Structure 1
Amino acid sequence: MISKRWLRGVVVAGVLAGAAGCSAPPAPRAAPGPVQEERPGGTPPAPRSARPAPPSAPPSAEACPEGGVRLVETEGNAAMGLRVAGFRLENCGTEPYVLEGYPQVSLRDGRNDPVAVSVEHGAAGITGVPDSDAPPPQRVTPAPGRAATVSMVWRNLVTDSAVAAVTAPVVEVEPRPGAPRLWLRLARPVDLGNTGRLGLGPWTAVDG
């Protein structure tokens, strides 16, 4: 979930658009047992083996990464060249995971090469609107099975026709200093234009 307070300045600017469980399938019916057919002469053939039933158990869940957390892309918003992306850091390990302030974020292009980008804390430098109402960075400690979120904001803007526009389909996140870095290929790539700037919000606990 994108922090509404952190994005208050974006909302004030008026440029962001507001953006089942399925029941388990019935168990497969048992395959028919061996069938015997009578041959001329009264000698029955050897019984045919029954076709094995397909497995009913679901596939195993994705393994938890080395650091004990996984990164998931969540919702995003786009309007008038302003972009917002949200990410969820899920604690899939066995111990509480302490987060402080902001993660380290970098971007990579389609060949996984680093993209030159200046990462700023807060949205004011991107939106032009002070984000004084945003919550201050604080310690967030998701327990096993819980999560925290972080958001990014940027402008898809070309200010110099002589400079190529940049699109980064991969985000690389270091959740806390020294932690294993997490790579995520995005469903909605970061289209920076040629601004070279990215605004980053602090870690926020997920309620409930």
Structure 2
Amino acid sequence: MASVRWVAGVVGGAVLAGVVVGCETPPAPEAAPGPTWAGAAPSVRAAPSGAGTQESCPEGGVRLLEGDGNAAMGLRVTDIQLVNCGTQPYVLEGYPEIRLLDKMRVPVEVAVVHGSEEITSAPTGVEGAPQRVELRPGQAATVMMVWRNLVTDATVPAAEGWVLDVTPRAGAPRVELGLGHSVDLGNTGKLGIGPWKAPAR
């Protein structure tokens, strides 16, 4: 799966190697810490596919995975992957319906807008015309998200989403994804999303 590449606020870990003393067996190296971002991840985070026991496929036949991320100068861009874990083709078209929930699973007040025009004038990869995407079993589509971590009014609490509640297409069951990196909106109140994009060839 795509690796996380958040470029701001991320502290790289160091692996401590054991030192051989005499004939003693060196101690096993400690695991390097993972990337950190705006607080600890909640317990609802989905396990990566293939890690540990095999995940069951949700009733809708698709699951979500947290993809790559990029953060610079308060502008956040990331992608979410939707994997067809069922046995039949899965068709997407247009934009998903997305809700944000906080750590207590309370909906976050945010205006979800199509595209990035209301967020930034810089190209982000969120732009693009909607298209029909058909996923064969095992294939994944992506949706890009963009927002700003910006506080412009100290009297308005900063909003932070830790769970995505996604309806991939009209009439489909909702799918949830716990995030390892929060959607830290500040008090901008806006989240830009792109259309579903076909898997890379």
Q: TM-score, normalised by structure 2?
A: 0.72
1:149 Cα deviation from its structure 2 partner? 0.5
2:145 maps to 152
Q: State whether residues 124 and 146 of structure 2, in contact with CA within 8 Å, keep that contact through their aligned partners in structure 1.
A: no
1:173 maps to 166
Q: Percent identity?
A: 57
Pick the aligned partner of 1:185 from 159, 167, 178.
178
Q: Give the count of matched residue pairs.
A: 155
1:117 maps to 110
Q: State whether residues 122 and 131 of structure 1, in contact with CA within 8 Å, keep that contact through their aligned partners in structure 2.
A: no
Structure 2: unaligned runs, 5 residues or longer = 9-50
Q: 1:95 to 1:85 in 2, by over 3 A?
A: same
Find the aligned partners of 2:174 and 2:98 in 1 and give their Cα distance: 9
Find the aligned partners of 2:188 and 2:55 in 1 and give their Cα distance: 36
Q: TM-score, normalised by structure 1?
A: 0.69
1:127 maps to 120
Q: Are 2:88 and 1:98 aligned?
A: no
1:61 Cα deviation from its structure 2 partner? 1.4
Q: State whether residues 125 and 144 of structure 2, in contact with CA within 8 Å, keep that contact through their aligned partners in structure 1.
A: no
Which of the pair is proportionally richer in helix?
Answer: 1
The 3-state SS of whatever aligns with 2:81 is strand
1:79 maps to 72
> Could you tell me which amino acid in structure 2 is paired with residue 175 of structure 1?
P
Find the aligned partners of 2:159 and 2:73 in 1 and give their Cα distance: 18
> Could you tell me which amino acid in structure 1 is paired with residue 170 of structure 2?
P
Query: Once the two structures are superposed, what CA deviation does each residue of 1:30-82 show, in whole Å capped at 9, x if it has no partner?
Result: xxxxxxxxxxxxxxxxxxxxxxxxxxxx9651100110000000110100000
